[in-house]
Each structure stands twice: as structure tokens, then as C-alpha cells.
Structure 1
């Protein structure tokens, strides 16, 4: 098992993993998809971290560093798409990836990291708290578009 940033050849494997998140099917192969994927991979502020087990992506966390005009121009970060393949859960992979995401955010000079979850499951919420996040400081509002 090793942890790394996603690479250009990981798109199909990552889409397979996202079927364990909330997706119901993989995106169809298209020029638009390949262009988007290429842009994501090249973006120095967009990090898709993966746990790789013998060439298979079994867990992933996305971290985006966002530039900011407040807080002394310190950026902030957002964690999204935390997922582990059902057969590989409860082994510490997501926690290790979140630790790596925090390290990247710190090294990028971020003053905070935000993480939102739609889960109401206390086990999931406790997991994020065990990673150092709290649910008391802010209130999140979502407007779906």
C-alpha cells in the first residue's frame, strides 16, 4: 500500500472507486472528460490523493487550495470526495490520506481546512472528528444548483 497523488492514467480507476461514494455509473469516455481530467491533474492547487494497493486505487481524498484576499492573503482549503472501497474500509487508509491533505494545506500556507459531509451517521462524524475536524465552530449551508 502506498499513498500518492493521482496521475493522468488513474481516471478509470478513480471513477470505479467513486461508485463506492455516491456515483451510480462511470462517466462516459469523451473529449470533454479527458480535457477536464487533464486540467485537474495539471492544477497545482487541486490534489486528488489516492491509496494504491498493487495498482488498484482503494481510497481517495480530494483537497483544493483556494486563494484568498482576507486573513493576510492566506489561502484556505476544502476537502471533498472522501471515499474508500467497501472491501478496504476501517484500515486507516482514508485517515492517512486526510493527514496527507492536512500536510499539503499547511505547506501551502492555508489558515483552515473545511470538510463537509452529508452523512448523519455518528460513526462517520466521529471519524472526521478523530481526524482533527470539529462540527462546532461553523454552520454550513448548501444550495444545490
Structure 2
């Protein structure tokens, strides 16, 4: 199996992050959503300004997964006030784990997930949480397999289309 390298994203990586962000989101959700809503969401969420802001945020960390120097996936985690919902200082939010379609099933998502859990453990946080689209059964199974439990729901705005995300959490310590 090819070696997966996990590398922290810096400001010099803005273009690559924009590219993989749009590509993987489109791959994952494009078929089930209207092109107009997708375009609106992608333009807003992956604009240069937004991506620069995310990379510069001291309460967020972003990592690329690379195989042979090719970026094949990425991870975004948030702490404290940068969490999208709970803003719990004892928690880490996994906001994004995305892998390029051709690389699904090659354990890249698992490596990125492991990185997130290791960050949470290094920071001695109590739990990890995330939101996952209720219709993304592949992702829900992945998180359940990794010990996450459902605890709530919230609305995710996809470019004007209101969708339901399931909130899931995993305790690392009591």
C-alpha cells in the first residue's frame, strides 16, 4: 500500500486547499444536490478570502493527506470559539474530512481521522464531535464504526438549501 503523508496546510497552500475543497465537496454531494445551490455554496465556502481566513485561524488546523506528493484528501479541525456549534473548550470539532473520489477506500479518511483524534488527545480534550449530512450514510457508518454516537441535529445551509446534519460525538475520557 502507498504511504500516506499528513502535512499541515499553510498560507502558501491556499490554491491547493481551494482546489481540493471544491473538488471533494462536489464529488461527495454534487449528485444529490442542485447545481445552483452547489455553486453558491462552493463559491462562498472556498473563496480565496474564506480559505485564507480558515488557514490563519489560530483555533483551526488543516492538514493535507498526500500520496507521492499528490494531495488526495484533507482534514479541518476546530477548537474553542472556531467550532461551528458547541464552542466547548473541552472538545475538538472535526469540521471536514474529505478524500478525492478515486482514493476512497484506501484508508486515507481513516488516517486523517486518526490525526484528528491524536490532536484531541495531545490537547487532553474530553471529546470529539462533528456534523454529518443525514443522507451521507457512508460517512455515518464510518463514524459509528469509529465509536461515535448520535446526540443531536442541526440545519446546514447549502447555498440556500436547508439540510439536516446529524451531530455525533465520541468521548476520549470521562
Both proteins in one fold, TM over 0.5: yes
Q: Does residue 1:88 correspond to 2:103, yes or no?
A: yes
Q: 1:143 to 1:118 in 2, by over 3 A?
A: closer
Give the equivalent residue in structure 2 for 1:13: 16
Give the equivalent residue in structure 1 for 2:71: 57
Q: How does 1:1-145 map to 2 (within 5 A)?
A: 1-18=4-21, 19-22=23-26, 24=39, 33-34=48-49, 36-66=50-80, 74-135=89-150, 138-142=151-155, 144=157
How far off its partner does 1:75 sit? 2.7
Instruction: Provide the TM-score with structure 2 as the length reference.
Output: 0.64
How far off its partner does 1:16 sit? 1.9
Deviations 1:6-63 (A, max 9, x none): 12222222222222214659759xxx835x5444334332111210123321111110
Contact 2:14 2:48 in 1 (8 A): no
Local SS of the residue matching 2:152: coil
Local SS of the residue matching 1:117: strand
CA distance in 2 between counterparts of 1:110 and 1:15 reads: 29
Aligned residues: 134
Moved over 6 A (4+): none
Q: 1:44 to 1:134 in 2, by over 3 A?
A: same
How far off its partner does 1:143 sit? 6.2
Instruction: Provide the TM-score with structure 1 as the length reference.
Output: 0.75
How far off its partner does 1:95 sit? 1.0
CA distance in 1 between counterparts of 2:100 and 2:156 reads: 28
CA distance in 2 between counterparts of 1:27 and 1:123 reads: 25
How far off its partner does 1:81 sit? 2.1
CA distance in 1 between counterparts of 2:70 and 2:43 reads: 19
